[in-house]
Amino acid sequence: MPEPAADPKADPVADSPSASGPNPTARRFLRNLHVPVAVPLLALIVGASLSLLAMLQSERLLGREEAHRFSARVEEIHGQLADRIKVYEQVARSAASLAMTFPDLHWTQWSRFVEALDMPQRYPGIISIAYARAVAAGRSGDLVASMRASGLTAFRIWPEHAGADRVVNIFTAPVNEANVRAIGFDLMSEAVRRSAVERARDSGEPAATRAITLKIDEAAGARPAFILFQATYRGDPLPPSLEARRASFTGVVLTPVRIGPLVDGLIDSQRPDTGLEIYDVPPAEAEFPLYRSHRLLETAPAISLDRELPVGGRIWTVRYDNLPDGVITAHDWVPGALLAVGIALSIALSLVLRMVLVIHSRAVELAGEMTASLRLQEAERQQLFTQAPLGIALVGTDGLVMDCNPAFASAAGLPRQGLLGTDARLRFGDQASVFALEAALHGESGKLESDQPLLLGGRRSHFSLHFQPVTAGGALKFVLAFAEDIGEKRRAEQHIQYLAHFDALTGLPNRVLLYDRIAQALREGRRDGSKVAVLFIDLDRFKVINDSLGHSFGDEVLRSVARRLQAGLRESDTVGRLGGDEFLIVVRRVAEPLDAARVAEKVVAHLASPFAVGGQNFVVTPSIGISLYPDDADDPEGLIRCADIAMYHAKEQGRNGFRFVTKEMGAKSRERMDLEGALRQAIREGELFLVYQPQVDTLTGRMVGLEALVRWRHPEEGLILPGRFLPVAEETGLVLAMGDWVLFEACAQIRRWRQRFDLSIPVAVNVSGAQFRDGQLPVKVARALDANGLSGCELEIEVTESTLIDDVESAAATLAALKQRGVLIALDDFGTGYSSLSYLHRLPIDKLKIDRSFIHDLSTGASDASVPRAIVGLGRSLGLSVIAEGVETQEQLQLLRDLACESYQGFLFSRPIPAEEIERLLETLTAVQPPMQPPVQPVSAE
Ligand SMILES: Nc1nc2c(ncn2[C@@H]2O[C@@H]3COP(=O)(O)O[C@H]4[C@@H](O)[C@H](n5cnc6c(=O)[nH]c(N)nc65)O[C@@H]4COP(=O)(O)O[C@H]3[C@H]2O)c(=O)[nH]1
C-alpha cells in the first residue's frame, strides 16, 4: 500500500505486446534458444581450445624438460667418454714413464707391465700397448742386433727403404700373432703415424692419429681405431723446449685404440633414447662418422647436441642424438590426456551450463511471471486501498503519516497531500484518538468513537476510529488507522430510536414509550405511595372526519389535538398517541381520583373550542376512560386495558365525557381476557370448525354460492358464535391465526367437494380488517389455493365496507393482488357504512352484499325498499352482481325478486350448516335438477 502503483512502462522486462521486437512468446523462445544453446556451445569451443592449448603447452614443456634431461644425460655420457680418453692417455703416459725409467727394458718386462694393466677388463678399447724406439740414422743395425740378442731372432726393421730417422716398434703386449706382426715396423715410414709421432715428440703430450685402419685389422676390414702416442725422452721426462725434446727424444709408446670398445657401455641399453656419432673432423665436413652407436636415422632426431672431445691433441666432435625409436618418456601421455580430459571437461561443463541456463532461464521466466502476478496483486491492493470506502491511513513507527487513501482525506475534510509526512500525533482532532494512536505505536490496538473533527482543521462529524499495529517478526512496521464517518449512521440510529419511541405524526411518545413512562410512574408510586392515573382518550367520530375530508385533513386534526393536549398539562404528565385517534395521558403523583377527573375535564375543555383546519371549523370531542394505580391495576397493560374499557363506557354514555373504570367493567374485562386465552387454545386444539350457508338465485332457486362461517365448539360452553369471540380475536390479533385456519380449511373443503361433486359454485370466506391490513393476505390466499390445487375463481373473499374505507389506496392494491390470483371479491354489509360510494369504481369488486338490516327492515316496514333498490341499481350500473343477506321470509324474497336482486341467502333457504349437511344437499341437487325451492323447514346448524 505505501508503495506507488505499479507502472507497466517502467518495467524493462515486461512482456507487453507493445514492447519492440517479437511478441513475448517468440522472445521467450529466442531467449530460451540463444542463451541455453549458445553459451554451452561457446563454453565447449573455448574449453576445447584451451585443452588444445594446454596440450601444446604441455608438449612444449615436456619437450623442454626432455631437452634438459637429454642435455644432462649427454653431459654425463660425454664426461665419461672424456674420462675414458684421459684414462687411456694416462695409460700411455704410464707406459712412457716405464720406458723412460728403464731404457734397457726387456720385452718380457713390457709384457708383464701390460698384462698387469688388465686391459680387456679395465681398458677394453686399447688393443695393445707397444713401444717404438727412435733410431738415429745409421744405427738401425745396432737395434736389430740388440733385439735379436734379446731373443727376438727374427727381428727386422721394415719397410726396408725408409728415411734417415726411424721410430721402430720394438715391444708390444699382449703378445699375440696379430700384435707381433707389427714388431719392427718403422712408424716414420707411414705419413699418418709419422705426423702423430712428431706431434707427440714435439709436445711431450699424448698425440692421436686420425681414424685409421690398424695394421692388425687390415685383413679384418674397417674397424675404426686410432693410435695414441706418448713420447719418451732421455733424462728429463719432459724436456722444457722443443729443441730439447727433439734432442732427447728416445721413442714413443703407442696405444692403438679401437673406438667401438672405447664407447661401449656408455650408452644405457635400457634407455636406448640416446645415440652418439663421433667425428674426428667437423661433422659438416665429414662424409660419415668415425663411430655411430645406432643405425642410420630416417628422420632427423628431435634433439641433437654436438660436444667437442679432445683426444691426443686432436678435437673430435661427438654428436648426441635423441632417438625416437622406442623412446617413451615418462610423461608422453600427458598432452594427449590433457586434451582428452580437457575436452571431456568442456563437454561436461557445456552440459552443466546448458542445464543451469535452462533452469536459470525457466527460473527467470517464473520470476517474471511471479513479478507480473505480484505487480497485479500490488495494483489490485493499491486499487483496493484507493477505492476503499473506509478511510485508511498508514502511520510510520515515527508517527508520521506514510500514506492515506482518498476516503480518509475526505472523511477528515482535508487534502490528502497535506497529510502525508505530517506527524499524526499532532493531527488527530481528539485527545482520546491521540492516546489511542500512541498506544498503537506501542503495539496495542484500540477502537474509539469521536464526535470531534477527525483531524485538526478538518470537518467535524461522528467518527469511528480503529488503530491497528502491524508487526513483522515481532517488530512494529506501521500502524493502520481506519476511520469511518458514522455521522449519517448515528443520525439514522437516532431517528430510528426516535421513531421507536415517538409517534411520527404528532411527535408524541408512542405506545412503547408510554408503557415505559407508565412503568416509571408506577415505580415512583410504589416508592412514595402516590397514585398514577391513566387517561385513555378516543376522539368521537374521528373516522367520519377522516373518511369524508381525507387523510391529510385527518392527520392535521390529530396534530392539532396533540398540541392542545400537551399545552393543557403539567410537565411531569405524559401525553402519547397509541395509534389512530387514540391518545393516552399518564398523570403522576395523583393524590385522589378527583385529580384525574380534573385532568379529564381539562382535556374536554381544551378540545371544546372548534378546530380550524383547511379553512373549515369543526368540533372534536373526546371520550375518556380513566384507570388508577393501585386501585384498578398495578401494571401498564392492566391500567391501559382498564382505561380502554372505561373509555368504551364513556362512549356508550353519550361521548364527550369521561368515565372511571368500575369493578363491573373490570369483571367484563376479565371475562374477555378469559375468552382470549380460551380462543388461543381453541385455535391450537382445533376447536374451530366451519359451517356453510348456501346462496341462492332469487328466481330459479338454484344454488349459486356458499358462505363459510366460523364456529367454536367450546369444550364446556358448547357452541360459541363469532359475534362473541370475533371482537376479542380482533382486539388481540388472534384473528390473524384464526383467519389463516379458516382460509386453509375452506380451500381444503372446496377441493374435496370439487373432487366429489364437481362443485363449480364459489365458496365465500370472510376476512377481517386486521387480516386485510396485515399485507400478507394475497400471499396467504395464494398459498392456500396452491396447496389445494385451486385456480382461484372457486374462492370468494368477503370484506366489509369499513375495512376498505380505512385506507382505500392500499385496499385497492390488496384487492388487485387477490384479483390477479383469480379470486372473487364481495363487499359485505354494503349500505351500512360510510355512504361514500366514490371508491367503488376504483376497487375490483365482483359482488355487493346488501346488509341484512335493510332486508329485515323491509318486512317489518321500518323502512321502504329504497336502499336495496338503490344498491341493486348501483350494482347493475357498475356491472356488479348483488346478493341480499338475512332473507327469512317469502315476502322478503318476493320483494327482492321484484327489485330484480339476483340472489339471496338467509334462514328462508338454509341456516349455516355443517359441511356434511351441505354434502347431503349437494347430493340431492346432483340427483334432482334445479330449480330448487326453499325447503319448508329451514336447515339449521345453530
Ligand atoms: N338474523 C338472521 N341472520 C342470518 C340469516 N342468514 C344468515 N344470518 C347470519 O348472518 C351472518 C352473515 O354473515 P356476515 O354478514 O358475513 O357476518 C358475519 C361475519 O362478519 C363474521 N364472521 C363469521 N364467520 C367469520 C369468519 O370466518 N371470519 C371472519 N373474519 N368473520 C366471520 O361474523 C358475522 C356473524 O356471523 P354469524 O354469526 O355466522 O352470522 C351470519 C349468519 O348466521 C337470517 O336469515 N337471519
CA torsion sign, 640 to 645 to 649 to 655? Answer: positive
Among 707, 771, 706, smallest CA distance to 741 is for: 771
Looking up residue 589, the CATH number of its domain turns out to be 3.30.70.270
Return the pLDDT at 2. Answer: 42
573 located within any domain: yes
pLDDT at 833: 56
619-677 pLDDT per residue, tens:
889 999 999 999 999 999 999 989 998 998 888 777 778 999 887 776 766 677 788 88
Tell the residue nearest (CA) to atom 37 of ligand 1. Answer: 722
694 in ligand 1 pocket by Cβ < 6 Å?
A: no
User: Ligand 1: distance of its center to the CA of 824 in Å?
Assistant: 19
Helix axes 663-685, 722-732, angle to 10 degrees: 90
CA dist., res. 417 & res. 434, Å (int): 21
Residue 840 forms part of a structural domain: yes
Give the CATH number for residue 392.
3.30.450.20
The answer to whether residue 515 sits within a structural domain is: yes
Q: Is 742 in the pocket of ligand 1 (CB under 6 A)?
A: yes
- Amino acid letter at 701? G
Q: Are residues 439 and 535 in the same domain?
A: no
The span from the CA of 391 to the CA of 463, in Å, is 10
Q: 791: CA distance to ligand 1 center in Å?
A: 26
Pair 157, 131: CB distance under 8 Å? no
pLDDT recorded at residue 138: 83
The residue to which cell 719418451 is assigned: 232
Tell me the CA–centroid distance for residue 920 and ligand 1, in Å: 22
pLDDT tens digits, 474-494 = 899 999 999 998 888 888 878
Do 423 and 454 belong to one domain? yes
How far is Cα 815 from Cα 775, in angstroms, rounded to an integer?
11
Cα-Cα-Cα-Cα dihedral sign, residues 263, 266, 271, 274: negative
The whole domain housing 886 covers 676-927
799 touches ligand 1 (CB under 6 Å): no
Task: Kindly report the CATH number assigned to the domain that includes residue 108.
Answer: 3.30.450.350
In a domain, 341, yes or no: no
Residue 119: which of 311, 269, 258 has the closest Cα?
258
Q: What is the phi/psi pair of residue 25, to 5°?
A: -65, -45
Helix axes 722-732, 734-757, angle to 10 degrees: 130
Q: What is the pLDDT of residue 20?
A: 46
Coil, helix or strand for 27?
helix
Contact 586, 514 (CB under 8 A): yes
Distance 739 CA to ligand 1 centre (A): 15
Same domain, 527 and 570: yes
DSSP structural state of residue 767: -
The percent of the chain in helix, strand and coil, each rounded to the nearest 5, is: 50, 20, 30
Is 828 touching ligand 1 by the criterion CB < 6 Å? yes
- What is the distance between the alpha carbons of residues 663 and 941, in angstroms, rounded to a whole number? 37
In terms of domains, do 856 and 883 share one? yes
Q: Is the CB of 709 under 6 A from ligand 1?
A: yes
Cα(371)–Cα(524) distance, integer angstroms: 74
SS (H, E, C) 184-220: CEEHHHCHHHHHHHHHHHHHCCCEECCCECCHHHCCC
Phi, psi of 748 (to 5 degrees): -65, -40
What is the domain-level CATH number for residue 840? 3.20.20.450
Q: How many Å lie between the centroid of ligand 1 and the Cα of residue 721? A: 9
Pocket test for ligand 1, best of 688, 690, 709, 802 (most atoms within 8 A of CB): 709
Q: Which atom of ligand 1 is nearest to the CA of 912?
A: 43
Phi, psi of 854 (to 5 degrees): -70, -35
Q: Which residue's entry shows cell 517479437?
A: 22
Query: Is residue 836 domain-resident?
Result: yes
Q: How many residues can be counted in the chain?
A: 942
Question: CB of 887 within 8 A of CB of 906?
Answer: yes
Angle at 250 between CA 245 and CA 255, to 5 degrees: 100
Beta strands in 669-790 (DSSP E): 688-697, 703-714, 718-720, 763-766
Give bridge partners of residue 249 from the DSSP assignment.
233
Is 693 a member of any domain?
yes
| Residue owning grid cell 379529564 | 600
Identify whether residues 746 and 891 lie together within a single domain: yes
Residues of the chain with pLDDT under 50: 1-21, 326-328, 835, 928-942
3-state SS class at 688: strand
Same domain, 550 and 614: yes
Contact present, 204 and 165 (Cβ < 8 Å): no
Nearest C-alpha to atom 2 of ligand 1 is from which residue? 886
From CA 470, how far away is CA 455, in angstroms rounded? 22
| Judgement on whether residues 484 and 535 belong to the same structural domain of the protein | no
Choose which residue among 885, 887, 942 to substitute to test ligand 1 binding: the one with the highest number of ligand atoms within 8 A of its C-beta: 885
* DSSP letters for 464-480: EEEEEEEEETTEEEEEE
* Count of domains forming the chain: 4
Q: Per the structure block, which three cell numbers stand in for 808? A: 382505500
- With a 6 A CB cut-off, is 912 part of the ligand 1 pocket? yes
Name which of 505, 465, 504, 498 is nearest 481 in CA terms: 465
Helices in 388-472 by DSSP H: which ranges? 406-412, 416-419, 424-427, 431-441
For residue 714, how far is the Cα from the chain centroid? 70
Sign of CA dihedral 608, 614, 616, 622: negative
Burial 521-559 (b: 16+ CB within 10 A, else e): bbeebeeeeebbbbbbbbbbebbebbbebeeeebebbbe
The one-letter code for the residue type at 725 is F
In a domain, 497, yes or no: no
Half-sphere exposure at residue 668, Cβ-oriented, CA atoms within 13 angstroms: 13
Q: Whose CA is nearest to atom 5 of ligand 1?
A: 886
Separation CA 463–CA 483 (nearest Å): 7
* Residue nearest ligand 1's atom 4 by CA: 886
**Boundary of a domain, candidates 661, 692, 721:** 661
Question: Given the CA of residue 907, which atom of ligand 1 is nearest to it?
Answer: 45
Q: Which of 690, 720, 766, 911 to mutate to test the pocket of ligand 1 (most atoms within 8 A of CB)?
A: 766
Buried b (16+ CB within 10 A) or exposed e, 303-341: bbbebebebbbbebbbbbbbbeeebeeeeeebbeebbee
Nine-digit cell at 350? 557445456
Q: Which atom of ligand 1 is nearest to the CA of 829?
A: 15
Residue nearest to atom 23 of ligand 1 (CA): 709
DSSP states of 556-614 as a string? HHHHHHHHHHHHTS-TTSEEEEEETTEEEEEEEEE-SHHHHHHHHHHHHHHHHSPEEET
586/687 same-domain check: no
Is 468 a domain residue?
yes
Burial (0-12, 13-18, 19+ Cβ within 10 Å), 497: exposed
519 class by beta-carbon count within 10 Å (0-12 exposed, 13-18 middle, 19+ buried) = middle
CA of 829 relative to ligand 1 center, distance in Å: 10
Peptide bond into 224 cis (omega under 30): no
User: What is the C-alpha separation between 225 and 457, in angstroms, rounded?
Assistant: 129
Q: For residues 602 and 750, state if they share a domain.
A: no
Cβ of 797 closer than 6 Å to ligand 1, yes or no, is no
Ligand 1 center from residue 904 Cα (angstroms):
14
**How many Å apart are CA 442 and CA 888, to the nearest integer?**
92
Q: 462 and 517: one domain?
A: no
The domain boundary residue, chosen from 458, 490, 522 = 490
User: SS3 of 321, please?
Assistant: strand
**886 CB near ligand 1 (under 6 Å):** yes
User: Atom 28 (ligand 1): residue with closest C-alpha?
Assistant: 766
Considering 209, 234, 266, which residue would you say is the last residue of a domain?
266
Residues 641 and 614 in one domain: yes
Residue 910 burial (CB < 10 Å; 0-12/13-18/19+)? buried
d(C-alpha 249, C-alpha 247), whole Å: 6
CA of residue 709 to ligand 1 center, whole Å: 6
In short, whether 766's Cβ falls inside 6 Å of ligand 1 is: yes
- The one-letter amino acid code at 328 reads I
CA–CA gap between residue 123 and residue 796 (Å, rounded): 160
pLDDT at 486: 87
pLDDT computed for residue 493 by the predictor: 78
Residues 519 and 641 in one domain: yes
Residue 553, ligand 1, Cβ within 6 A: no
Assigned C-alpha cell, 433: 484518538
- Give phi and psi for 100, each to the nearest 5: -75, -35
